[in-house]
Amino acid sequence: MAEHRKFHFSTLEQLRDEIARLGADISLSDDLTVLARPVAAGRLYAPNAFAVLPMEGCDCLQDGSPSELTRRRYLRLFGGGAGLIWWEACAVVPEGRANPRQMMLTEGNLRSFTELVRDAKREAALQNSPGHRPVSILQLTHSGRYSRPNSHRPEPIIPQNDPILDPLSGVTENTPLAADEYLASLPEKYARSAVLAREAGFDGVDIKSCHRYLFSELLASHTREGIYGGSFENRTRLLLDTVRAVREAVGDDFMIACRFNVFDAHPYPYGFGSAKDDPWTFDPGEPMRLVQLLRRENVQLLSNSAGNPYYIYPQVTRPFDTSSLGIPVPREDPLESVARLFAFTAAVQQAAPDIPVVGNGYSWLRQFLPYAGAANLKNGKCGFVGLGRSSFAYPQAPRDILSGRGMKEGNCCVTCSKCTQIMRDHGKTGCVVRDSEVYAPLYRCARESAEERERSAEL
C-alpha cells in the first residue's frame, strides 16, 4: 500500500509513469474507438459503451415522484450521450426509503415517472442524434440498515446484528431483526415495482444488492438463523427469489439487472467477498458463485460495486482526493483503490463473458478516464465504462469524448466528496463544484442544518 496522494497529473504520460511506479494494474489505451461501439445487453442495444451509474439526488417529492430538480438531473444525463442510464435507487416499500425524499415508484405517481422517462428520451435524441436511445434501467432498493423514511431519525431494518455497524446506524438493543415473514413478502413488492417501471417506459430494473443496504447485508448474514442466513444458499435466497418473482411478473422482454457488492472489506462473519482471516483480502469464491446463479436466472446486465459508503473506508466504493467529514485519510494511493475496483469488474466480466458488466471507479481519473475505459473494454475487463460522480459534475462527458472533442479538464469531477457530504447532512445532492449555482447553496444549507442538529443533540 502506498501513501494517499491527490490527483496531480497534467499529461497521460505522467499518469502512466505513476501507475508503473505503483505497479497498479491499470491499463491505458490511446485508441478510444471502442468506446463508441454499441453494446448488446440481452435483447437491447446501448448505442455506446458509456454508462451513467446510479447516483441518488435525494431530491424527490415526499410521495417519491421526481421533483423539478430530479427532472433537471435526468434531462442533463440523457442529453449527455451515454449509452446506458442506470437510474438511482428507487425504494420498493416506504419503510425501506433511505431518506424521506428518496425516489419511490407507485401506482399513485406512475404518471410523473412516465412523463419524465418520455421527456428524458426526447432530450437524448435532441442533444445527440435522432436515433440515440440510451438503455434505461431503474435501480430498485430496500435500504435495510440505512432506512430513514420519515425524518432525520434512522429507522433501521436489519437482517443481522453487526457489532461494528450497529452503533453507527442507529441500531439499539431494542431493534428487532427483520422477520423471515417480512423478508418473504419483499419479492412481490419488487415485482410490483418492476411492472410499474415497465409501464413507465424503463427497459429494465436492477435488484440492488450493494453498499450494505438490505440485500447486500443479507449476502453477508452469516450469523442470521433461519432460511435467509448462514449458508450461501440461504444468504442468496432472497435475491434469487426476487429475481424469479420479477421475471414471473414482467416476462422475458424486460431486462433484469443486478448491481451487487463483490467485496465488503468487512470482517467475517459480517462481510461478503472477504477472506475469513483478513477483511482486506478478496475471496472470489462466493461472489463468483453468485454471478453464475444470476446468470442462470437470466439476469442480463451486471454491475459490481464494493465497500460500504457509510463506513470509514469509502475509498473502497469511490476513490477520492478529499474525504467527507470525519473520514480518515485512506492508507492507500487512490490509484490502488481504482485498480481494486477495475479488478473486481474484470473478475465478474471474465466469469460472465456473455453479460456486459458495468465497471466503476473511473471518476478519480478525471480527463484521462476514457483511456482506462478503452483499455478495459478492449481487454474484456468490462462491458461498459460506468461514470458516477463524473456524471454529476460533467454529464456531457460521453458526448465530448465520443465527438472527438475530449473531456475538458475544467469540467471534471475533482473527487472532493462534497456531494457525499450533502447526503450525509440529509440534503439534496449534486455537484457542488461544477454545478455550483444550484448545489453550493444546497451544500451550505445542509451543512448548517446538520451542525444545528449536532448542537441540539449535545445540549
Contact residues for ligand SF4 (CB under 6 A)? 389, 392-393, 413-419, 431-434
Identity of the residue, 345 or 417, whose beta carbon is nearer to ligand SF4 in the bound complex: 417
414 binds, among ligand SF4, ligand FMN, none (CB under 5 to 8 A by kind): ligand SF4
Element (H, E) at 193: helix 186-200
Contacts of residue 457, Cβ cutoff 8 Å, sequence gap at least 6: none
C-alpha cell at 61: 417529492
Residue 434 interface partner, choices ligand SF4, ligand FMN, none, CB cut-off 5-8 Å depending on type: ligand SF4
| Residue list 422-451, contact with ligand FMN (CB under 6 A) | 423, 429
What residue 433 binds from ligand SF4, ligand FMN, none (CB within 5 to 8 A, per partner kind)?
A: ligand SF4
For residue 363, the minimal CB distance to ligand SF4 (Å) is 7
C-alpha span between 288 and 285 (Å, rounded): 6
Min separation Cβ 88 and ligand SF4, Å? 14
Q: Tell me the closest approach of the beta carbon of residue 443 to ligand SF4, in angstroms.
A: 8
Count other Cβ atoms within 10 Å, centred on residue 381.
22
Residues 138-177 that bind ligand FMN (CB under 6 A): 139
The partner in contact with residue 56, picked from ligand FMN, ligand SF4, none with C-beta cut-offs of 5 to 8 angstroms by kind, is: ligand FMN
Which positions ≥6 away from 208 have C-beta within 8 Å?
Answer: 54, 89, 139, 140, 141, 215, 216, 258, 259
The distance from CA 85 to its chain's CA centroid, rounded to whole angstroms, is 12
Question: End-to-end alpha-carbon separation of the chain, Å?
Answer: 42
Nearer to ligand FMN, 210 or 250 (CB): 210
102 binds, among ligand SF4, ligand FMN, none (CB under 5 to 8 A by kind): none
- Reported residue count of the chain is 459
User: Is 395 among the residues that bind ligand FMN (CB under 6 A)?
Assistant: no
Distance CA 198, CA 265 (A): 35
Cβ count within 10 A of residue 63: 11
300 binds ligand FMN (CB under 6 A): no
Partner interacting with residue 416 (select from ligand FMN, ligand SF4, none; CB below 5-8 Å by kind): ligand SF4
Residue 407 CA to residue 296 CA, distance in Å, equals 39
**Is 336 among the residues that bind ligand FMN (CB under 6 A)?**
no
**Shorter beta-carbon distance to ligand FMN: residue 138 or 177:** 138
Which residue, 316, 309, 378, is CA-closest to 349?
378
Q: Is the CB of 42 or the CB of 307 nearer to ligand FMN?
A: 307
DSSP 35-88: GGS-EEETTEEESSSEEEPP-------TTS---HHHHHHHHHHHHTT-SEEEEE
* Residue 410 C-beta: closest distance to ligand FMN, Å: 18
Q: Which stretch binds ligand FMN (CB under 6 A): 50-58, 147-155, 215-223, 327-335?
A: 50-58
Footprint of ligand FMN on this chain (CB under 6 A)?
53-56, 88-89, 139, 208, 210, 259, 305, 317-318, 360-364, 387-390, 419-420, 423, 429
